[in-house]
Structure 1
């Protein structure tokens, strides 16, 4: 069974009801097996693993060992200022190609990560905590090499992972969050229910994964990270985003001073290659 968080199609009502009942019962009667089954259904991105950069080629490649496998990072450009770009669920670093071209022309080095289970990294499963771990390790790698990380740009789930980084890793950096699914877990539960899978199964999986990482998944919500809006954050979001509702972003930033750059008609992913968006990003990066 292939499951996608970025698919608006739901199961037929009758089949969905039966499936929800079955997965709820399984979660109650066989918690360990249900966690194993749930991870294999819900934590597989089924992303396009093979890709090539058409207009620019990496100057170097880096592999980082994480608890779930080896994360692959493509490095572009030369210079002393590094920008990390972090893709979303079911995507890969190739989604940033247009942005990478523009930013390397500005003299930045771009570190474009493929998260575990995505692109050229190893593994077939992934989740938010894995995204967070890989970003954490990558920033620490540059710190150990005494290389300055000037900014982190995250898209979709990569944006939520960025917001969940420890505060000391976000300090003194430009943080740009694009197409952020603010109500990340609520959206997960909604998609799971639409697919005819019991929310109890997802809860079981989230508890199991977070326990392995010594965390509580409730700590990973955007509301739990509201204090990080005090850092140098900028949100970019399209009004017609089908997967990360624009209204959720505006509600989250209500009464906050955090900048929000709005776009129209670009949707969830096309926003990454839009010329005006890239120009806005270069302006944010160059601002004091």
Structure 2
């Protein structure tokens, strides 16, 4: 978290002016994922897990193979895969994982995406999240239940498309809908001038060979692979604004939704009622 604050303050102190390394700073502002230490309760849960390490190719930033770490609880036949959000890690689902472990005949699989938690990588992005989810699916088999929070929900959509799996249940918690708008919000918060923002997005699109505006859940959603989709959200979520979600839900009226007011973007995955509803849904 300290590094991200330093980069943010560096950019903001320029008051919209351009600096020699400005684009590099903007890439760090957008693609450096803050890392928070593991709490005691989380560490105890991780110590109960079977550990694994897989690899993905980072073709955009490090141009190398990155190792990422994962965790498995239980050996039941019903597989549950959890994909965390930006600036998060598998251990942040400790309360949910503890509850899911109690469901009969289940196996819970979670991982730290590259550039997040305990895994390798300096900068991260949606495609690395998705590649990690794909690697987990390919290695351990198709999960019956796929859970994603925030950016993890977008990553799951890509992974489902790429692997061709058809999970019995997809769960999205406070999903991001429009990635470019999240980038713009971060750039605006740091007082980045419009001209510099335009340069960043030109650079972004050259690197990923895809317009930033195309990284939306509308565009990525694997409609025909979804048997049942349950979505939880807080209408006052500042990170995943409801205006974007409302448009997505209008396009997909088949998605089951539940509102959890006052939970916010990060705390929603730890909320007792959300966890109880998920256990009831999955169990």
Using the size of structure 2 for normalisation, the TM-score is 0.81
Alignment of 1:155-166 (within 5 A): 155-166=149-160
1:176 aligns with 2:171: yes
Q: Deviations over 1:39-68 (max 9, x none)?
A: 344311121255552553333001001113
**Whole-angstrom CA distance in 1 between matches of 2:273 and 2:44:** 19
Task: Specify whether residues 170 and 266 from structure 1 end up closer, same or farther in structure 2 by C-alpha distance, changes over 3 A only.
Answer: farther
Task: Specify whether residues 204 and 37 from structure 1 end up closer, same or farther in structure 2 by C-alpha distance, changes over 3 A only.
Answer: farther
Do the aligned partners of 1:86 and 1:93 also contact (CA within 8 Å) in 2? yes
- The structure 2 residue matched to 1:152, chosen from 141, 146, 151, is 146
Q: Which has the higher contact order (CA 8 A, sep 6+)?
A: 1
Do the aligned partners of 1:86 and 1:113 also contact (CA within 8 Å) in 2? yes
1:220 aligns with 2:209: no
In structure 1, the residue corresponding to 2:159 is in which secondary structure?
coil
**Whole-angstrom CA distance in 1 between matches of 2:35 and 2:91:** 12
Aligned residue pairs total: 262
1:277 aligns with 2:274: yes
**Whole-angstrom CA distance in 1 between matches of 2:85 and 2:25:** 23
1:243 aligns with 2:239: yes
Task: Specify whether residues 165 and 220 from structure 1 end up closer, same or farther in structure 2 by C-alpha distance, changes over 3 A only.
Answer: farther
Task: Specify whether residues 240 and 166 from structure 1 end up closer, same or farther in structure 2 by C-alpha distance, changes over 3 A only.
Answer: same
Computed over aligned residues only, the root mean square deviation of the Cα atoms, in angstroms, reads 2.7
Do the aligned partners of 2:165 and 2:225 also contact (CA within 8 Å) in 1? no
Q: Deviations over 1:117-143 (max 9, x none)?
A: 111111121011111111111111113
Do the aligned partners of 2:166 and 2:225 also contact (CA within 8 Å) in 1? no
Do the aligned partners of 2:176 and 2:240 also contact (CA within 8 Å) in 1? yes
Using the size of structure 1 for normalisation, the TM-score is 0.80
Do the aligned partners of 1:62 and 1:74 also contact (CA within 8 Å) in 2? yes
In structure 1, the residue corresponding to 2:269 is in which secondary structure?
helix
1:104 Cα offset (Å): 0.6
Q: Where does structure 2 lack aligned partners over 5 or more consecutive residues?
A: 59-65
Q: Where does structure 1 lack aligned partners over 5 or more consecutive residues?
A: 27-32
- The structure 1 residue matched to 2:249, chosen from 244, 253, 268, is 253
1:156 Cα offset (Å): 0.7
